[in-house]
Amino acid sequence: MRESAVRVCVVYPELLGTYGDGGNAVVLAQRLRWRDIDAELVSVAVDEVLPLDCDVYVLGGGEDAPQSLAALRLAEHGLARAVDAGAGVLAICAGLQVLGRTFTAADGSTVEGLGILDCTTRPKGSRMIGELVAEPTAFALPTLTGFENHGGITELGPEARPLGRVVTGNGNGVGGDEGVVQGRVIGTYLHGPALARNPALADLFLSWIVGDDLSPLDDTVIERLRTERLKAAR
């Protein structure tokens, strides 16, 4: 058992928190506390210095202009160094795009991402909105469920692999892929929030931090929601 609290960093919630994705950090912290492991939520505003010693970083979805600002600040503050040091990252939607090599800004210009994920995102021209279901391929996990709402098509390079195969919805919008995985960095288009609707994905992150012997939790209320949502998406 580790002695210090697990530190969960919520990155720029005012820029990357448009779709309730801040809930992912709440889920991670609670699933630790319910197992008697101390957890600390570290919320970092865009004008604050990003701490590079957190165990896991959570980035949410956001609008176009804030997304470009977030990319700029994250590069300045060196998120890549935290990743090199072994931190886990969950990046949702705009967060995923920011971590890639490039994405397209609202004015059509190409913006440099952080290059932590080997992927590029270009606009589709129309938004992809609705329930998203994917079968995980990168990890042995139950079916992934969430809600997607984005206009970007994300293409993977050779260093990244998809999180899963799309069953319902669009995901990355090309090749039937959903999400991007590279080391301990997971990008996905799942809102819902992703970890609220997929507790096993939350526990995957936690196992990277505190080890595989996570005690089981009573997820009855979450299983009821998963059953409902998977049925609704069919």
Q: By CB under 8 A, tell whether 46 contacts another protein.
A: yes
Question: For another protein, which residue of 6, 9, 11, 27 counts as binding (CB under 8 A)?
Answer: 27
Phi-psi category of residue 224: left, alpha or beta, with phi > 0 → left and psi -120 to 50 → alpha: alpha
Residue 77 falls in the annotated catalytic set: no
CA atoms within 13 A on the CB side of 161: 8
CB 1 within 8 A of CB 36: no
Q: Is 192 in the site for another protein (CB under 8 A)?
A: yes
Which of 67/120 has CB closer to another protein?
A: 67
Residue 210 as a binder of another protein (CB under 8 A): the answer is no
For residues 18 and 59, is the Cβ–Cβ distance under 8 A?
A: no
Of 9, 54, 93, 119, catalytic: 93
Q: Residue 110 interacts with another protein (CB under 8 A)?
A: no
Q: Is 80 a residue that touches another protein (CB under 8 A)?
A: no
The answer to whether 49 contacts another protein (rule: CB under 8 A) is: no
Q: Which of 193, 198, 201, 230 binds another protein (CB under 8 A)?
A: 193
Contact flag: residue 104 with another protein (CB under 8 A): no
Question: Minimal distance in Å, beta carbon 234 to another protein?
Answer: 16
Choose the binding region for another protein from 75-83, 116-124, 152-160, 218-226 (rule: CB under 8 A): 218-226
Among 64, 112, 118, 135, contact with another protein (rule: CB under 8 A): 64
Residue 228 structure tokens? 């409902």
C-alpha 189/C-alpha 92 separation (Å) is 6
* Residue 218 CB contacts under 8 Å (≥ 6 apart), including other chains: none
Contact at 8 Å (CB) between 18 and 64? no
Contact window for another protein (CB under 8 A) among 74-82, 164-172, 179-187, 222-230: 222-230
Residue 58: which of 194, 222, 174, 231 has the closest Cα?
194
- C-alpha pair distances (Å), 59 with each of 22, 73, 145, 193: 8, 13, 18, 12
Q: Which residues of the chain form beta strands (DSSP E)?
A: 6-11, 39-44, 56-59, 88-92, 102-104, 110-112, 119-136, 144-156, 164-168, 177-178, 180-182, 185-188
Query: How many binding residues for another protein (CB under 8 A)?
Result: 37
What minimum distance in Å lies between the beta carbon of 91 and another protein?
16
Among 66, 142, 157, 175, binds another protein (CB under 8 A): 66
Q: Is 54 a catalytic residue?
A: no
Torsion of CA 192, 197, 202, 204, to 10 degrees: -120
> Which residues here bind another protein, judged by CB under 8 A?
13-15, 17-23, 26-27, 30, 45-47, 63-66, 68-69, 127, 129-130, 147, 149, 191-193, 196-197, 221-222, 224-225, 228
> What residues are annotated to the active site?
93, 191
